[in-house]
Amino acid sequence: MKIGFIGLGHMGAPMALNLIKAGHALTVFDLSAEAMQTLADAGATRAATPKAAATGAEWVVTMLPAAAHVRTVLSAEDGVLAGIAKGVTIIDSSTIDPASAKEFGALAAAHGNAFVDAPVSGGTGGAAAGTLTFMVGGSAALYESVKPVLAGMGKNIVHCGETGTGQVAKICNNLVLGVTMAGVAEAMALGEALGIDSKVLGGIMNTSTGRCWSSDTYNPFPGVIETAPSSRGYTGGFGTDLMLKDMGLATDAAKSVHQPAYMGALAQQLYQAMSSRGDGKLDFSAIIKLYRGEKG
Amino acid sequence: MKIGFIGLGHMGAPMALNLIKAGHALTVFDLSAEAMQTLADAGATRAATPKAAATGAEWVVTMLPAAAHVRTVLSAEDGVLAGIAKGVTIIDSSTIDPASAKEFGALAAAHGNAFVDAPVSGGTGGAAAGTLTFMVGGSAALYESVKPVLAGMGKNIVHCGETGTGQVAKICNNLVLGVTMAGVAEAMALGEALGIDSKVLGGIMNTSTGRCWSSDTYNPFPGVIETAPSSRGYTGGFGTDLMLKDMGLATDAAKSVHQPAYMGALAQQLYQAMSSRGDGKLDFSAIIKLYRGEKG
Amino acid sequence: MKIGFIGLGHMGAPMALNLIKAGHALTVFDLSAEAMQTLADAGATRAATPKAAATGAEWVVTMLPAAAHVRTVLSAEDGVLAGIAKGVTIIDSSTIDPASAKEFGALAAAHGNAFVDAPVSGGTGGAAAGTLTFMVGGSAALYESVKPVLAGMGKNIVHCGETGTGQVAKICNNLVLGVTMAGVAEAMALGEALGIDSKVLGGIMNTSTGRCWSSDTYNPFPGVIETAPSSRGYTGGFGTDLMLKDMGLATDAAKSVHQPAYMGALAQQLYQAMSSRGDGKLDFSAIIKLYRGEKG
Amino acid sequence: MKIGFIGLGHMGAPMALNLIKAGHALTVFDLSAEAMQTLADAGATRAATPKAAATGAEWVVTMLPAAAHVRTVLSAEDGVLAGIAKGVTIIDSSTIDPASAKEFGALAAAHGNAFVDAPVSGGTGGAAAGTLTFMVGGSAALYESVKPVLAGMGKNIVHCGETGTGQVAKICNNLVLGVTMAGVAEAMALGEALGIDSKVLGGIMNTSTGRCWSSDTYNPFPGVIETAPSSRGYTGGFGTDLMLKDMGLATDAAKSVHQPAYMGALAQQLYQAMSSRGDGKLDFSAIIKLYRGEKG
């Protein structure tokens, strides 16, 4: 199928490459000439604008940093909506707030196009391996229709409900992730200070009620899980600044529906403290440094 | 073997019954005549005092509400140390602070007795089924020696390190538990307010990075996990007041070693809010009521 | 002087009335016909659009709920910038984020107009009495030039620095206000639970190191300060939802400069909890209800 | 009058010296020979034990670090109660938990003695100058009777209610103090990051609704208040570790009556973070370092 793909960053580039491998014909756009070149080398056609990428496409996929970028890419004079054919579906895999997702859905509908929000989990590793999870917001029929496209980039394609609910699922999951990581960091550092061996503590936690992904797969204490970023200097995982963005989306979403978000708001400030001391590029599990007296 | 068993509450009684089933001869003590009767009916000998329960015993097991009770049971005029033979090991399965456990270890040692802290996880269900996990603090040799006794009451018997580390493991695990439950409650309530189906959200969380025992086994949102207390009116699980006690132990232990415990301290206040509005007897996952606008 | 005044809400209406009393000629605009009528009755000229209100004015004053409204009022086709003469200064007394204030300053400058941010404190009482404090952001020369206009509406006119710093001052002050009120509420409720007379406790606090406006002028415990909203059922003061808006501005501003805002973020959630239970219209000192077990 | 005085630390020594200046005959006890020598040089009689200090005294004053010390000083074999004559009143000026104060009141009563809790505010400066505030818990008659003694050490002697309420007043006041200081530090650092001059911001806060002792007398930002510890390197004020102790008393007292203490618990963790990084001896306003990126 002919796919217009816009946004070739750390996530977008490997996703687009997988679509090519899956046999699709891609026309791509990104502000970075280098990123464009990589995709062109793999067989994609370069477009000069989002409009050009969307022109003639049977599907349009966007993978962008924030809602403001999606808005511009869709609505600008040389944007997607200026080029896309009526009836074509736009798949936005960016992580953005649910309200903006709904707004883009309405915008697309007014233009005669369908729109699904389909944020991902799985990180750059999952993007490269084609094993991402997609959380899809849109009607059941739309969900069925986008599955073949998403199957080229991921393994697990989940229908979350109407437009926006893909973002809701992503945000709520990452809220839990940000909170549990802070909690595990706090407890592992406390255990160390109280004199228990950290591998022993990790082992107990992981077979007991404290069990969680932040402990059994991604434990923030170095050496407990050999494959975790903590065991390689907190490099190469999910950056603190990205977690901070997601915690901001969660507390903003909570504000929008008048829900308190005590734990998330506090965890957000702790990641903020990491960012403000210059540790924003480290994996988010480096939050344990705040508890172990390691300076930024 | 002859075992003196002191403390026949919701946990202690089924633990003692399992020791009898395992073929041990028990002499028991509790302030409740009713609890004593239940054990006597099962074949235990009643003792009039902790001292009497310890006299002639080859092992002494204590299962009490707090450190103050353990102190009294050990040191009072009619206490364990007044009756116990030299060389006999005391196993304390109460959940108490690590410093008190060390103090009791020294107290026993000065008296010619060994002491291990062996708090449990698994709740009243695990106590009845004999499937508790024991977290044992004491020397490697002591750990080996107490294993056959603990095997009569539990399945998983873990060596945590020197005296007090059993309590450290218990406290750190439950700190994570208290924090993750609050985080999951916050996220599930947020998802509901944002319009996603709670079963769908739970399902995504449980196969993604938000995965944790508080979500996949004990989800606080009614109906997500059919076997969780939330699906039966928050009854019959691990009471909010008990979680509050454990969060207090965690933040107090953190204070004792000058560690910040941001997340734990905040979660503690939320459980406190539940307790102060009269919901202390509900399962601790009822904390979600604070987020769903359900009055106490 | 001829003044165009846009925004005749609870604050704007009495401010505009005071400008009339001070002898200025006002042309006013608001979406509410009723608000327009009140001002017309007092001698103001009604304008059909912000553009019309700005046309021919020597000064333009805006008093609007949020940055989005200011943006529209300035930039819309029938907005202020479409009607205002070059060289005329725009005074924005809305409480908005500092970044938007700077943006509006640049927008006005590009159009040949000066802009000052001049948010107020003093509430509806101060607006009516003409005793507001204005926190002015703009050059020293601009500050001097706007003083005669602001003097018609307030008593205390403070120069805070360059454009945007008026909003910074407002936001930082209200951050402290929101935090101290939550702290005083927590302490007064704790004192009550511990058995001290609340007037005695308030008296001690107010002559000791706990002294603060939230305690000595606006104490949240009923009866401690007779003139405080707490002594008249939490009516008629500074609404919880308005405090919530300001706490949101503070934590958002903190996010924008990568500053942690632990205390503000937590207080924000507590006001959020009040709002979500239906108490958003009560004075913000009603936050003490969260601590005294009073249901929403 | 003959006064037995026990506890000659940073607070106790100047308090005892003022009693001598006021014409009282003092018999003193402290574990430090140096502290004893200072008082002896000023005319006090040295006692070998608390019992000896209490023997023959018409009043006994204690000024000790924590409840455990008071308990020992009162109850030990060579303690106050072993030497004191029946009918003599014990004045405890230590800062301790209200429950312990009540316990000591009952202990004294059982022994035929009266007891008042009379914690102080005013710091070492107030102790030296004789301008302390005493918060007195005990019957109205007792309060009247101790006034002449306390008048030798302080200016403001306030009756708080029955035994223990002096401690309640102290704890609640310092809870507010700890929270407001954290809030002011957060806001002053935020203002700095957002580009407002700190003296200007402090000036606005101090004449507006953010006004509080932590801002107008003890502002944590260097240079805003010349006489504050922040303007002399955070030396010589009220140490972070002492504030930490008081925040611990407040949250423990809240726990004892099932009151949530959200703001206090969070502030406590922030002071804890200061202490754990080695800044426990700095004035508690140094908490602003956590916000300004100043390393410990």
Q: Are D36 and D11 in contact (CB under 8 A)?
A: no
Which range marks the domain in which residue D280 is found?
Answer: 168-292
Positions of chain C with pLDDT lower than 70, given as ranges? none
- Among residues B120, B13, B138, B5, which one has the least CA distance to residue B73? B5
C140 and C20 within one domain: yes
Q: What percent of chain A has pLDDT over 90?
A: 97
Token digits of residue C43: 């001698």
- Here the tokens at position B180 are 């993750």
DSSP element (H, E) containing C158: strand C154-161
Inter-chain residue contact B276 with C293, CB threshold 8 Å: yes
The contacts of residue C166 (CB under 8 Å, 6+ apart) are C101, C116, C117, C118, C119, C134, C135, C136, C137, C138, C160
Same domain membership, residue C196 and residue C150: no
Q: A259 and chain C: CB distance < 8 Å anywhere? A: yes
Which residues are CB-neighbours of B226 under 8 A, at least 6 positions away?
none
Residues D176, D138 share a domain:
no
Q: What confidence category does residue A57 fall into, taking pLDDT thresholds of 50, 70 and 90?
A: very high
Both tokens assigned to D211: 């006004």
* D169-221 confidence digits (pLDDT tens): 999 999 999 999 999 999 999 999 999 999 999 999 999 999 999 999 999 99
Same domain? For C124 and C223 the reply is no
Task: Compute the distance between CA of residue A71 and CA of residue A29 in angstroms, rounded to an integer.
Answer: 15
What is the distance between the alpha carbons of residues C266 and B57, in angstroms, rounded to a whole number? 54
Alpha carbons B95 and A185: distance in angstroms, whole number: 22
Average pLDDT over residues A265-276: 97
Give the per-residue pLDDT at C295.
87
pLDDT at B236 (0 to 100): 82
Same domain, C143 and C117: yes
Tell me the C-alpha to C-alpha distance, in Å, between residue C24 and each of C17, C51, C135, C151.
Answer: 10, 19, 22, 12
Give residue D59's pLDDT: 98
Look at residues A134, A162, A190 and tell me which one is the last residue of a structural domain: A162
- For residues C118 and C213, membership in a common domain is answered with no
> What letter represents residue D214's amino acid?
S
pLDDT at A123 (0 to 100)? 86
List of chain C residues whose C-beta atoms are within 8 Å of the C-beta of residue D270? 262
Pair D185, D64 in one domain: no
Mean pLDDT of chain D, nearest integer: 97
Each residue's pLDDT tens digit, D133-168: 999 999 999 999 999 999 999 999 999 999 999 999
Identify whether residues B9 and B78 lie together within a single domain: yes
List the pLDDT tens digit at each of the 296 positions of chain B. Answer: 999 999 999 999 999 999 999 999 999 999 999 999 999 999 999 999 999 999 999 999 999 999 999 999 999 999 999 999 999 999 999 999 999 999 999 999 999 999 999 999 988 889 999 999 999 999 999 999 999 999 999 999 999 999 999 999 999 999 999 999 999 999 999 999 999 999 999 999 999 999 999 999 999 999 999 999 999 999 988 999 999 999 999 999 999 999 999 999 999 999 999 999 999 999 999 999 999 989 88
Q: Is A120 on the interface with B (CB under 8 A)?
A: no
CATH of the domain at C95: 3.40.50.720
D296: pLDDT strictly greater than 90 = no
| Tokens representing residue B195 in the block | 């319009």
Give the tens place of pLDDT for each residue, A126-160: 999 999 999 999 999 999 999 999 999 999 999 99
Give the Å distances, CA to CA, from D22 to B276, D8, D131, D180. Answer: 48, 17, 13, 36
Q: Which of D108, D133, D161 is the last residue of a domain?
A: D161
The CA distance from C262 to the nearest CA of chain A, in Å, is: 6
Active site residue B170: yes
Q: Angle formed by the axes of helices C262-274 and A262-274, to 10°?
A: 160
In the prediction, which pLDDT does B124 show?
87
A194 in contact with D at a CB cutoff of 8 Å?
A: no
Q: Which pLDDT score, from 0 to 100, does residue A210 have?
A: 95
Domain boundary (B161, B183, B207) is at B161
pLDDT at D228 over 90: yes
The pLDDT-based confidence of A276 (bands split at 50, 70, 90) is very high
Task: State which amino acid sits at residue A289.
Answer: K
Q: How big is chain B by its Cα radius of gyration, in Å?
A: 20
Handedness of CA C38, C40, C43, C44 (dihedral sign): positive
**Do C125 and C175 fall within a single domain?**
no
Instruction: Give the strand pairing for A120-121 and A132-137.
Output: antiparallel
> Is residue A191 within 8 Å of residue A198, measured between CB atoms?
yes
Measuring CA to CA, how many Å separate C118 from each of A220, B148, C146, C162? Answer: 47, 77, 10, 11
**Residue D172 and residue D135 in one domain:** no
Task: Report the C-alpha gap between B138 and D111 in whole angstroms.
Answer: 44
Measure CB to CB from residue C258 to each of A254, A265, A275 and give the nearest one. A275
Q: What pLDDT is recorded for position C123?
A: 86
Token pair recorded at residue D201:
């911001």
Q: Transcribe C247-289 into DSSP letters.
A: HHHHHHHHHHTT---HHHHHHHHHHHHHIIIIITTSBGGGGGH
Looking at the fold, whether D30 and D156 belong to one and the same domain comes out as yes
User: Scanning the structure block, which residue is given the tokens 């009723």?
Assistant: C34
B88 φ, ψ (degrees, to nearest 5): -75, 140
What is the total count of domains within chain D? Answer: 2
Scan residues 13-72 of D and list those with Cβ closer than 8 Å to C.
none
C194 touches chain B (CB under 8 A): no
Best mutation site among C247, C259, C268, C272 for testing chain A: the one with the most A CBs within 10 Å? C272
- For C213-230, b/e burial (b = at least 16 CB within 10 A) is bbbbebbbbbebbeebbb
Residue A145 and residue A93 share a domain? yes
Tokens of C209: 């190191």
Q: Which of A104, A56, A54 is nearest to A81 (CA)?
A: A54
A214: domain CATH number is 1.10.1040.10
